[in-house]
Structure 1
Amino acid sequence: MKNSLLTLLAFFISFTTWSQDQEYSTVIPVHDPVMIKEGDTFFLFSTGRGIAVWSSPDMKKWKREEAVFPQPPTWATDVAADFKNHIWAPDITFHEGEYFLYYSVSSFAKNTSAIGLVKNKTLNPDSPDFKWEDQGIVIQSVPGRDLWNAIDPNLVFDEEGTPWLNYGSFWNGMKLVRLGDDLKTVQNGPDDWYTISKRERSFELDDRNPGDGAVEAPFIFKKDGYYYLFVSFDYCCRGVNSTYKMVVGRSKEVQGPYFDRDGVSMFEGGGTLVLGGDKDWHGVGHNSAYEFGGTEYLIFHGYDAKDNGRSKLLIREMNWDSEGWPIVSLEN
């Protein structure tokens, strides 16, 4: 675990110290990327100090923007005492005239975690309306109380327009909770909480230990009457030793159950492989998925085998086979 933490720290330093004065770059160091378009500009948010932000006119060349949080969220150290404004795994949505950006505050390898929400009327930093306003905690996990980890959020709306937040990493799997109309208040009725993906652990469940049921980073993408649940299996953040890979299942209902191509439930460890690492990229994962201009894309990070395992942004077109399953290639 010590070596893993040192490796992870090296990666975090490599991309959080990236010069904000640089011109556009075609190769950018990221973890856990999500993307949205405002006007003619694409904005990418990723794990980093204060939440890393990039902008691009074409999804090919990128410019570093100011972080969302120059100073840590005021509540963060109450959740994780060792928090140093390194914010994980954001998720961005435009809804009813505002941008909703969810984010994760956590202690590494612990479920001492919380998902927060910050809002803005625009992503254009030159606009007079540009101002990030933190909304505080959406949901929190506590060791000794919860068998899940409140990180890696993703917002999705069902066919009736009801908002749901899916999230999770290790422990007892990926959770789905219904939100109120404010997109912040968690509903607590018997039909408001679901486990939508998990993997078997080799030892008894312990709410203070993540275990080896390596699944995290859920993202739900709607297409042709199905909800497609992407998750990442195995291990990130280990450079050339990373084993990350992306798998998928689908359901007609946002609550699931989600089944893979072979009919195995993701609640029982199922998941059809979408993309794994190869000789050039040792571990690829923590994806998001979007449609821009009639083309669908998978957005994710991978560890570059030719650059000492550094984590970098990867964007690939997503196609579909005759049975409605995604096809993605690492070849660009």
Structure 2
Amino acid sequence: MIAVAALATVAATQADVATPAGARAAPTLNERLRGDIAPTHDPVIIREGDTYHVYSTGLGDGPDRIIAHRVSNDLVNWRKAETPLAALPDWATQAIPGAKNAWAPDISFVGGRYRLYYSVSTFGSNRSAIGLLTNATLDPTRPGYRWRDDGPVVMSDRTDDYNAIDPNLVVARDGRQWLALGSFWSGLKLFALDRATGKLLNKNEAPVAIARRPAPVGAPAPIEAPFVIDHGGWYWLVASYDYCCKGSASTYYTVVGRSRAVTGPYLGRDGSAMMQGGGTILLRADLPEKERFRGPGHAGHLRDRDGTDYLVYHAYDQEAKGRPTLRIARLRWGADGWPKAE
């Protein structure tokens, strides 16, 4: 559980909204989701043409065992689609012995190609790697569809103070590109990227620290899954705190902080620093989730063509034995400039 000192610095953004007597609130997008939405873990989302694509950690058996892929034409009804990676490449299995699947992919379109970063690791270890796949299109029926293995981007091992998982490509307003990543250890980092290749700009350059949770004596303070959103002249860092992967017992929740610079410092609405375990709560199980869906986290972002912002994430369904399930919430920006997930 989060340390008492850190908890005191984390301010909730959510508030109960009064509904007139007898009025029935319109169903949220989450309440309308249908089709193949579970098991989904660590999802990200993008739109190409009229199709929305969700990529997520590979689970179970079958063609999406390495990386799962789902598509929808309306954000509501979801179906399985062709996986971008049917087996881990040789470089990944050699670098990370014991790895079975790919975790926490990130999808973006930059420089005329789609980039899909993904993590390879084993549970509880920071011997990890982030790889890169690229493609001209996400549509298997279009000419030029072929996922190209561009190899490893960054690796970590026992001598490093970070864990090379949970990647997110960040394109700053000045055109510079960064890879946000990290889980546990010393927190979340930014690595500068080469714009043309999507690989590290300088392999010998130390990463920039953007968030961490100082651990109380004798207890870990989990932080992971960075995602950076550019909105309103601010960069917004979304991160997940506490524990995922425990089904309905998961204590995952999501916080956000903002900074004028992509490299930080990121602060919550109350001024609490994400480098000290602070931030402002964005997703939590006992708020609009009605407590059915536990441990909401690993949030990604989509800005649709009409400017609407969405958060995609997973949560554990108590009515389905804690199965990780796809969740999508509308992200609204308040008069004070801060986001609220609905």
TM-score tier after normalising by the smaller chain length = 0.7 to 0.9
TM-fit CA distance, 1:35: 0.8
TM-fit CA distance, 1:216: 0.2
Would you say the 8 A contact 1:139–1:186 is kept in 2? no
Candidates 70, 77, 83, aligned match of 1:54: 70
- Structure 2 stretches lacking a partner, 5+ long: 1-33, 59-64
Structure 2 counterpart SS, 1:62: strand
TM-fit CA distance, 1:202: 2.8
- Partner residue of 1:33? 43
Candidates 268, 274, 287, aligned match of 1:266: 274
- The within-5 A match list for 1:127-166 is 127-143=142-158, 145-166=159-180
- Partner residue of 1:301? 314
CA deviation string 1:234-283 (max 9, x = no partner): 00010110011000000000000111111111111111001111321111
Which amino acid in structure 2 is aligned with residue 27 of structure 1?
I
Higher relative contact order (Cα pairs below 8 Å, separated by 6+ residues): 2
- Partner residue of 2:324? 311
Instruction: After superposing the two structures, state which structure 1 stretch, 120-129 or 219-228, moved more.
Output: 120-129
TM-fit CA distance, 1:26: 5.6
Which amino acid in structure 2 is aligned with residue 57 of structure 1?
N
Aligned-partner Cα distance in 2 for 1:308–1:28: 12
CA deviation string 1:287-313 (max 9, x = no partner): 011211221111100001111111100
* TM-score with structure 1 setting the length: 0.86
TM-fit CA distance, 1:27: 3.4
- The within-5 A match list for 1:1-332 is 25=35, 27-48=37-58, 49-84=65-100, 86-143=101-158, 145-181=159-195, 182-188=197-203, 193-203=207-217, 212-278=220-286, 279-292=291-304, 293-329=306-342
Would you say the 8 A contact 1:201–1:212 is kept in 2? yes
TM-fit CA distance, 1:29: 2.1
Q: How many residues align?
A: 297
CA 1:26–1:115 in structure 2 vs 1: closer, same or farther (change >3 Å)? closer
Aligned-partner Cα distance in 1 for 2:317–2:148: 35
- Partner residue of 2:14? none
* TM-score with structure 2 setting the length: 0.84
TM-fit CA distance, 1:50: 2.1
CA deviation string 1:1-43 (max 9, x = no partner): xxxxxxxxxxxxxxxxxxxxxxx81633200111111111111
